């Protein structure tokens, strides 16, 4: 009776635990031959863990994986390759000092009498390059290709391993609009030849364009699926966030106060050709949107002085401030919660208390002698106030979950009464609960008159939290949207460098 | 802590074994040498520890010992300078060299290894140049001058003065490292320079200070070495001492990745190295000295790594038992 073909891949009730976090809990998934499904979910929902398990990078704690109906164990990346599964990472794994052909056959070079057969590499590579629609000589150095072309090389490499399932993790995050179109047509032709696709993206319009079906994850669990007809923005957001947006984001706009921070003709070191002008008022939450690489982080780092601006002025409360280092910014009560908390925000082997007190330690010491009682009190207060889930303030910070680590990074600055708080991707890689707490905190700080400027790549976050949105495109401020003008389309239009149509 | 206890026990074990084989090892004369030289090396090793904790390295300490020693002797012998004034002068000079390293490393962003490697070559050859490639001797009790031999030769409460000095330097250093903002910043920057800078710490200043402390302490031990031997050969003095200092720091728990290290560990590490050296001399197989010391350090580092993994694994297992984080209630 059951005439349905066996799906290429079936994942059944997979679970995976990491210290402090349950990354996946009984997640199931199936992909048919030539089918394209989207896996959506917020950061920390478990998407990347699931993909790593499929690609053999991590092993599940329990559950079964079947390929062509037969249970398999994917132990290691080579095993995944043999089974026909290839993962195309967000960051490409290619050597740009080698030729295209050498990259495609890296580790599997065809040989003749023990020597690498260059002619064989070239001939084979041409075949695969043709399949992905890339008309370039395989002897070309990879470095000479654009990012979009490099990505196609990566796909060609996967095809050369006889990949039957391509997992693409945010493949369009650094592509131009034309490159995206090209990628989509390649995906289409691959599907016609029977290759299955698992597509991970935050860009909901792409999901609609490329995928037959949507599988949503939330907090490491299946939170539902959508058939092709059901794929709408609202449906996807509901599955990802688990509640309606207006409930999740508590933002109530207030009348902003005086201008506390102003950038006039500011030119960052990375994008010196564009002068940036904007103002930030006290009690205001301003979003800084744009594609990856648009120069948002560079702008925050210029304001915080870690990458000092090369020209222009920064005014704090109406007075010109010379900000050449983080210390200068801190002296003006401008604080940054950086993008990479492990690299820039925390000293991982130090404990919660020591991390919390680090920027303000001089205030807790007499002639540089640390008053350990005040330090302890500060740590206790902050852990309580930020609701950091930790056994004690003596816990080494690297053993906390991402959300709790992020709370500590924020706590560092909270103790020092911020005037301006710059947040770079404040909720990246943390669970929904902690996320919500961070939104509430931003809300509370704004009420107390702190000016907040936050960078976010999550559209929902930008739409939900910002009173006003500045959009960047290729190093320049391409526009500003008030709350009334705010929509996903408007932000994307500005972020991709197109002119706003008059509304 | 466990590590320090093990090191402590090791000191007794080496002592017991060696003196059982060769009773002269436990003689007063031998003990006195060991105590004095532990003091001298230890002061230098603490200097190395500061730089290593800051995530750097100083390869020039041995050459520094030669240069400072030579200059110290010349000032007393040729310039007829008061030895205490000479000490202050050479210590200022040593600190300035440390300042130079620090500036090159922080302001020009050069690699510490390269900068101090050049220092190793330059300082050694400067020492030879100043001394005309000849030994400088007899400056401790110059005729009609001040006798300073007591600084390394005298005992106080049956313990040689250098060991007391080491104790003083050690206690001050341990307090600085653990109780002051400087120490905290040093550890933070040694582990994660970027996070320290993003926290508003003047990382350049702290790094420069670490190199200055290191050079200063190398200078102190150079003076004491010179006094103890009453002779400095610009070619021989201090050769490989930087490696002993680094070895002692590593054996005592400093990671060359920066950020960790305890002064007590460094002191115990130094004591073990000196004791091993003496034991090897006593047992008369000094050609194998490098082999023994090298293998002991290697064993120490391997044991450390294994302990770290076991502790890590245990922690992970413990956390598996704890229920996953409770998601906060939705609003």
Higher pLDDT residue, A251 or B14? B14
- Beta strands in A408-489, from DSSP E residues, in sequence order: 420-424, 451-455, 468-473, 476-482
| pLDDT score at B88 | 96
**Distance between CA A145 and CA A126 in Å, rounded?**
16
Closest residue on chain B to A395 (Cα):
B315
Q: Does domain A245-333+417-503 have CATH number 3.40.50.300?
A: yes
Return the percentage of chain B with pLDDT > 70, whole number: 95
**Distance between CA A423 and CA A403 in Å, rounded?**
14
**Distance between CA B73 and CA B88 in Å, rounded?**
13
Residue A344 forms contact with B (CB below 8 Å): yes
| pLDDT score at B326 | 38
| pLDDT score at A245 | 54
Residue A252 forms contact with B (CB below 8 Å): no
Helix (H, G, I), strand (E, B) or coil at A502: coil
Residue B324 forms contact with A (CB below 8 Å): yes
Which pLDDT band holds residue B74 (cuts at 50, 70, 90)?
very high
Return the percentage of chain A with pLDDT > 70, whole number: 94
| pLDDT score at B213 | 97
| pLDDT score at A129 | 92
Burial grade of B292 (CB within 10 A; 0-12, 13-18, 19 or more): middle
**Distance between CA A199 and CA A180 in Å, rounded?**
13
Q: How far is B85 from chain A (nearest CA, A)?
A: 29
**Distance between CA B25 and CA A120 in Å, rounded?**
71
- When CB atoms are compared, the residue of A22, A348, A365 closest to B324 is A22
A431 CB neighbours in chain B (<8 A) are: 325, 327
| Cα of A413 vs its chain's centroid, Å | 23
Q: Is the pLDDT of residue B324 over 80?
A: no
| pLDDT score at A202 | 64
Which pLDDT band holds residue B257 (cuts at 50, 70, 90)?
confident
Residue B284 forms contact with A (CB below 8 Å): no
Using only C-alpha atoms, chain A has a radius of gyration, in whole angstroms, of: 25
Q: Nearest-5° angle of CA A112, CA A117, CA A122? A: 150
| pLDDT score at A131 | 86
Give the least confident one: A3-7, A343-347, A469-473, B327-331: B327-331
Which pLDDT band holds residue B218 (cuts at 50, 70, 90)?
very high
A336 CB neighbours in chain B (<8 A) are: 198
Helix (H, G, I), strand (E, B) or coil at A447: helix
Closest residue on chain B to A410 (Cα):
B199
Residue A403 forms contact with B (CB below 8 Å): yes
**How many Cα atoms within 13 Å fall on the side-chain side of residue A289?**
34
Q: How far is B252 from chain A (nearest CA, A)?
A: 18
Which pLDDT band holds residue A248 (cuts at 50, 70, 90)?
low
Q: What is the pLDDT of residues B105-150, one digit of tens each?
A: 999 999 999 999 999 999 999 999 999 988 988 888 877 778 888 8
| pLDDT score at A308 | 93
Which pLDDT band holds residue A19 (cuts at 50, 70, 90)?
low
Q: Is the pLDDT of residue A503 over 70?
A: no
What lies within 8 Å, CB to CB, of A63 at 6+ separation is A11, A12, A13, A14, A15, A26, A27
Q: What is the pLDDT of residues B84-111, one digit of tens each?
A: 999 999 999 999 999 999 999 999 999 9
**Global ipTM:** 0.84
**Distance between CA A456 and CA B129 in Å, rounded?**
62
What lies within 8 Å, CB to CB, of B210 at 6+ separation is B50, B51, B53, B54, B56, B102, B186
Residue B180 forms contact with A (CB below 8 Å): yes
In this structure, are residues A490 and A500 in contact, taking their beta carbons and an 8 Å threshold? yes
Q: How far is A326 from chain B (nearest CA, A)?
A: 5
Q: What is the pLDDT of residues B272-307, one digit of tens each?
A: 999 999 899 888 888 888 898 889 888 888 887 888
Exposure letters B112-134 (e unless 16+ CB within 10 A, then b): beebbeebbeebbebbbebbeee
CB contact under 8 A, A330 and B324: no
Q: Nearest-5° angle of CA A190, CA A193, CA A199? A: 35
Give me chain B's average pLDDT, please.
89
Closest residue on chain A to B312 (Cα):
A399
| pLDDT score at A43 | 64
Q: Is the pLDDT of residue B215 over 50?
A: yes
Residue of A361, A395, A443, A444 for testing the chain B interface, max B β-carbons within 10 Å: A361
Please give the full DSSP string across A333-367, using - where no structure is assigned: TEEEE-S-IIIII--TTSBHHHHHHGGGGGGGEET
**Distance between CA B167 and CA A99 in Å, rounded?**
61
Q: What integer is the mean pLDDT of B70-96?
A: 93
Pull the structure tokens for residue A366: 């007499």
Superfamily of domain A9-244 in the CATH hierarchy: P-loop containing nucleotide triphosphate hydrolases (3.40.50.300)
In this structure, are residues B221 and B43 in contact, taking their beta carbons and an 8 Å threshold? yes
Give me chain A's average pLDDT, please.
87
Q: What integer is the mean pLDDT of B23-34?
A: 87
Dihedral (Cα; A216, A217, A221, A227), 10-degree rounding: 10
Give phi and psi for A44, each to the nearest 5. 85, 5
Q: What is the pLDDT of residues A352-411, one digit of tens each?
A: 999 999 999 999 999 899 999 999 999 999 999 998 988 889 999 988 888 899 999 999
Q: Is the pLDDT of residue B323 over 50?
A: no
**Sheet architecture: strand order including A213-218:** A85-88, A165-169, A196-200, A36-40, A213-218, A221-227
Q: What is the pLDDT of residues A169-228, one digit of tens each?
A: 888 776 777 788 888 988 998 999 899 999 987 667 788 888 999 999 887 888 888 888
Q: How far is B303 from chain A (nearest CA, A)?
A: 20
Q: What is the pLDDT of residues A111-125, one digit of tens each?
A: 888 888 889 999 999
Q: Do A9-244 and A245-333+417-503 share a fold?
A: yes
Q: Is the pLDDT of residue B217 over 60?
A: yes
Nearest to B136 by CA among B239, B231, B221, B238: B231
**Distance between CA B301 and CA A357 in Å, rounded?**
32
Domain B22-302 has what CATH class? mainly alpha
Distance (Å) of CA A97 to CA A103, A109, A128, A142: 9, 17, 20, 7
Q: What integer is the mean pLDDT of B65-69?
A: 96
| pLDDT score at B327 | 39
Q: Is the pLDDT of residue B321 over 70?
A: no
- Note every long-range contact of A5-8, with CB atoms under 8 Å and residues 24 or more positions apart, other chains counting: A5/A32, A5/A33, A6/A68, A6/A69, A7/A31, A7/A32, A7/A33, A7/A35, A8/A32, A8/A33, A8/A35, A8/A67, A8/A68, A8/A164, A8/A165, A8/A196
| pLDDT score at A20 | 62
Name the helix (H) or strand (E) containing B316: helix B289-321
Give the least confident one: A59-63, A209-213, B59-63, B320-324: B320-324
Describe the crossing of helices B263-282 and B161-179 by its angle, rounded to 10 degrees. Answer: 150
**Distance between CA A383 and CA A399 in Å, rounded?**
15
**Distance between CA B264 and CA B258 in Å, rounded?**
17
Give domain limits for chain B: 22-302
Residue A245 forms contact with B (CB below 8 Å): no
Give domain limits for chain A: 9-244, 245-333+417-503, 344-416
């Amino acid at each position: 009776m059951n005439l349905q073909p066996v799906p290429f891949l079936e994942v059944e009730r997979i679970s995976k635990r990491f210290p402090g976090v349950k990354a996946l809990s009984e997640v199931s998934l199936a992909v048919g031959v030539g089918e394209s499904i989207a896996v959506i979910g917020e950061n920390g929902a478990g998407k990347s863990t699931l993909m790593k398990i499929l690609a053999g990078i991590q092993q599940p704690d329990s559950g079964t994986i079947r390929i062509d109906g037969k249970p398999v164990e994917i132990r290691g990346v080579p095993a995944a390759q043999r089974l026909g599964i290839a993962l195309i990472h967000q960051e490409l794994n290619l050597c740009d000092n080698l030729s295209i052909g050498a990259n495609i056959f890296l580790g599997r070079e065809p040989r003749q009498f023990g020597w690498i057969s260059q002619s064989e590499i070239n001939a084979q590579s041409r075949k695969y390059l043709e399949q992905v629609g890339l008309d370039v000589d395989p002897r070309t150095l990879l470095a000479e290709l654009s990012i979009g072309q490099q990505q196609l090389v990566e796909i060609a490499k996967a095809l050369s391993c006889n990949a039957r399932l391509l997992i693409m993790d945010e493949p369009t995050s650094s592509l131009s609009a034309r490159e995206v179109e090209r990628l989509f047509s390649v995906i289409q032709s691959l599907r016609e030849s029977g290759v299955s696709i698992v597509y991970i993206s935050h860009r909901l319009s792409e999901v609609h364009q490329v995928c037959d079906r949507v599988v949503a994850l939330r907090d490491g669990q299946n939170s539902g699926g959508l058939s092709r007809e059901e794929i709408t923005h609202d449906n996807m957001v509901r599955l990802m966030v688990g509640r309606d947006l207006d409930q999740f984001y508590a933002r109530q706009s207030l009348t902003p106060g005086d201008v506390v921070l102003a950038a006039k003709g500011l030119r960052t070191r990375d994008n010196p050709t564009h002068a940036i002008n904007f103002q930030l008022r006290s009690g205001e939450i301003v979003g800084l949107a744009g594609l990856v690489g648009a120069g948002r982080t560079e702008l925050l780092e210029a304001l915080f002085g870690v990458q000092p601006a090369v020209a222009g002025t920064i005014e704090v409360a109406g007075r010109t401030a010379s900000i050449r280092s983080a210390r200068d910014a801190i002296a003006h009560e401008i604080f940054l919660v950086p993008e990479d908390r492990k690299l820039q925000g925390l000293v991982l082997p130090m404990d919660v208390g020591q991390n919390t007190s680090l920027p303000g330690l001089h205030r807790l010491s007499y002639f540089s002698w640390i008053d350990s009682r005040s330090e302890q009190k500060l740590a206790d207060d902050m852990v309580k106030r930020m609701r950091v889930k930790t056994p004690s303030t003596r816990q080494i910070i690297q053993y906390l979950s991402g959300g709790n680590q992020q709370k500590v990074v924020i706590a560092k600055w909270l103790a020092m009464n911020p005037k301006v708080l710059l947040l770079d991707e404040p909720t990246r890689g943390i669970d929904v609960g902690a996320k919500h707490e961070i939104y509430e905190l931003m809300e509370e700080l704004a009420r107390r008159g702190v000016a907040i400027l936050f960078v976010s790549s999550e559209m929902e976050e930008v739409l939900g939290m910002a009173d006003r949105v500045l959009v960047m495109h290729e190093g320049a401020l391409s526009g500003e949207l008030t709350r009334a003008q705010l929509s996903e389309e408007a932000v994307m239009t500005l972020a991709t460098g197109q002119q706003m149509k008059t509304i | 802590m466990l590590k320090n206890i093990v090191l402590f026990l090791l000191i007794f074990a080496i002592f017991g074994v060696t003196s059982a084989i060769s009773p002269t090892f436990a003689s007063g004369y031998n003990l006195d040498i060991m105590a004095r030289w532990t003091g001298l090396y230890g002061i230098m090793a603490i200097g190395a520890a500061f730089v290593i904790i800051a995530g750097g390295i100083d390869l020039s300490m041995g050459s520094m010992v030669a240069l400072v020693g030579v200059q110290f002797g010349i000032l007393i012998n040729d310039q007829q300078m008061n030895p205490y004034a000479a000490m202050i002068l050479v210590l200022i000079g040593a600190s300035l060299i440390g300042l130079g390293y620090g500036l090159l490393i922080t302001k020009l962003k050069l690699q510490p290894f390269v900068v101090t490697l050049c220092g190793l070559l330059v300082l050694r050859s400067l020492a030879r140049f100043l001394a005309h490639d000849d030994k400088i001797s007899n400056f401790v009790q110059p005729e009609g001058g001040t006798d300073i031999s007591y600084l390394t030769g005298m005992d106080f409460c049956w313990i040689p003065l250098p060991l007391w000095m080491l104790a003083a330097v050690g206690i001050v250093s341990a307090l600085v490292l653990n109780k002051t903002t400087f120490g905290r910043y040093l550890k933070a920057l040694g582990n994660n320079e970027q996070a320290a800078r993003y926290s508003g710490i003047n990382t350049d200043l702290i790094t420069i200070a670490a190199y200055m402390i290191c050079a200063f302490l190398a200078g102190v031990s150079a003076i004491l070495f010179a006094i103890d031997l009453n002779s400095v050969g610009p070619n021989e003095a201090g050769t490989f001492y930087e490696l002993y200092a680094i070895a002692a720091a590593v054996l005592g728990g400093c990671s060359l990745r920066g950020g960790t290290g305890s002064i007590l560990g460094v002191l115990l590490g130094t004591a073990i190295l000196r004791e091993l050296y003496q034991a090897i001399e006593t047992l008369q197989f000094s050609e194998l000295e490098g082999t023994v010391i090298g293998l002991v350090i290697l064993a120490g580092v391997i044991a450390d790594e294994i302990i770290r993994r076991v502790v890590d694994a245990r922690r992970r297992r413990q956390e598996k038992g704890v229920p996953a984080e409770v998601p906060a209630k939705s609003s």
